[in-house]
Chain A
Amino acid sequence: MTDRRLSRRDLFRLGLAAGPASLLASCGWDGGPHLAPKLHAVSKVNDWVGEKLFLSADRLAPQYPRSQRTAPRDFPAYSISHPLPVVADPAAWALEVKGLVAQPQRLTLAMIQALPRVTYTVKHHCVEGWTAIATWTGAPLAAVVAMAQPTDAARYIRFDSFDHGYFNGWDLKSAMHPQSILAYAWNDRPLTPAHGAPLRVYAPIKLGYKLTKFLTAMTFTAERPGGYWENQGYPWLGGV
Chain B
Amino acid sequence: MTNDTGPETPAAQPEDDAAAVPSAATAPSTVAPGDAVLASVPVASGVAVAPGKRPLVHRHHWLVRVTHWANAVLLVGMIGSGLQIYNAFGHFGRRGGPFFPNPFDGKPFPRWATLGGWLAGGLNWHFALAWPFVLTGAAYLLYLVISGEWRSLLFRPRDVPRAIAMQLYYLRLRKQHPPQGKHNALQKGAYSFILLLGILSVLSGFAIYKPAQLSWLTALFGGYELARYWHFWAVFLFLAFTLVHVTLVLVVDPASLRAMITGWYRGRFPSHD
Q: Is the interface of B mostly helix, strand, loop or mixed?
A: helix
B44 within 8 A of partner (CB): no
The B247-270 residues at the A interface (CB cut-off 8 A) are: 250, 254-255, 257-258, 261, 266-267
A62 within 8 A of B: yes
**Chain A residues, CB < 8 A from B22:** 1
Asked if B116 and A29 make an inter-chain contact with CB atoms under 8 angstroms apart, the answer reads yes
Q: Beyond A4-B254, A22-B76, is A130–B111 a contact (Cβ under 8 Å)? A: no
Point out the residue from B88, B214, B224, B258 that lies within 8 Å of A125, measured CB to CB: B224
A46 B213 Cβ-Cβ under 8 A: no
- A26–B112 Cα distance when bound, in Å, is 4
A140 near B: Cβ within 8 Å? no
State the CA gap A126–B225 with chains docked (Å). 12
A interface SS class: mixed
Q: Please determine whether A39 and B51 come into contact, CB atoms closer than 8 angstroms.
A: no
Residues of B within 8 A of A205 (CB): 212-213
Determine whether the beta carbon of A43 is less than 8 Å from that of B128: yes
Please report which residues of chain B, range 206-250, place their CB below 8 angstroms from some CB of chain A when the two chains form the complex: 209-215, 219, 224-225, 228, 250
Query: Does A229 count as interface, using CB distance less than 8 angstroms?
Result: yes
Candidates A24, A60, A62, A133; contact of B77 at CB < 8 Å: A24
Which residues in B have their C-beta under 8 angstroms from that of A21?
A: 72-73, 76-77
User: Is the C-beta of B131 less than 8 angstroms from some C-beta in chain A?
Assistant: yes
- Is B94 close to A, CB under 8 A? yes
Within 8 A of B (CB), among A53-97: 54-56, 59-62, 70-71, 74-76
Q: A29-B116, A235-B127 given as contacts; is B94 within 8 A of A10 (CB)?
A: no
Among residues 118 to 175 in chain A, which have CB atoms less than 8 Å away from a CB atom of chain B?
123, 125-133
Would you call B45 an interface residue if the criterion is a C-beta within 8 Å of the partner chain's C-beta atoms?
no
The stretch of A11-19, A106-114, A193-201, A212-220 in contact with B is: A11-19
* B96 contacts the other chain (CB 8 A): yes
Task: Determine if B96 and A232 form an interchain contact, defined as CB atoms under 8 angstroms apart.
Answer: no
Is the beta-carbon distance between A17 and B69 smaller than 8 angstroms? yes
Contact of B51 among A3, A40, A61, A62 (CB under 8 A): A3
Contact with A along B48-88 (1 / 0, CB 8 A): 00010000000000000000010011001101100011101
Instruction: Determine if A24 and B88 form an interchain contact, defined as CB atoms under 8 angstroms apart.
Output: no
B125 touches A31 (CB 8 A): yes
Query: Is A234 engaged at the interface, CB distance under 8 Å to the other chain?
Result: yes
Known: A3-B267, A21-B73. A233 touches B120 (CB 8 A): yes
CB nearest neighbor in A for B206: A54
In the assembled complex, A42 has its CB within 8 A of some CB on chain B: yes
Q: Interface range on chain B: under 10, 10 to 19, 20 to 34, or 35 or more?
A: 35 or more
Interface contact B127-A204, CB-CB below 8 Å: no
Contacts of B267 in A (CB 8 A): 3
Most buried by B among A6, A28, A229: A28
Complex-state Cα separation, A4 to B21, whole angstroms = 11
Closest Cβ of chain A to B114, distance in Å, is 5
Within 8 A of A (CB), among B110-154: 111-121, 123-125, 127-128, 131
Whether the Cβ atoms of B95 and A75 lie closer than 8 Å is yes
By beta carbon, the residue of chain B nearest A122 is B212
Contacts of A20 in B (CB 8 A): 73
Contact between A240 and B212, CB atoms less than 8 A apart:
yes
**Complex interface: chain B residues within 8 A of A133 (CB):** 94
Query: Could you say which residues of chain B place their CB within 8 Å of the CB of A17?
Result: 69, 72-73
Asked if B225 contacts A131 (CB within 8 A), the reply is yes
Interface check B89, CB cutoff 8 A? yes
- Other than the known A6-B254, A10-B254, A61-B215, what 14 A-B pairs have Cβ atoms closer than 8 Å? A1-B51, A10-B258, A13-B261, A17-B73, A21-B73, A24-B76, A24-B115, A25-B76, A60-B212, A74-B96, A127-B119, A130-B94, A233-B121, A235-B123
* Residue positions of B touching A, CB distance < 8 A: 18, 21-22, 25, 51, 69, 72-73, 76-77, 79-80, 84-86, 88-89, 91, 94-96, 111-121, 123-125, 127-128, 131, 209-215, 219, 224-225, 228, 250, 254-255, 257-258, 261, 266-267
12 CB contacts below 8 A, A to B, read: A25-B77, A27-B112, A43-B128, A59-B213, A61-B211, A74-B95, A128-B88, A129-B88, A129-B228, A130-B89, A205-B212, A232-B120
The 7 closest A-B pairs by CB, nearest first: A74-B96, A7-B254, A25-B80, A233-B120, A30-B121, A61-B212, A129-B89
Residues on A lying within 8 angstroms of B by beta carbon are: 1-4, 6-7, 10-11, 13-14, 17-18, 20-22, 24-31, 36, 38-40, 42-43, 46, 50, 54-56, 59-62, 70-71, 74-76, 123, 125-133, 204-205, 229, 232-235, 239-240
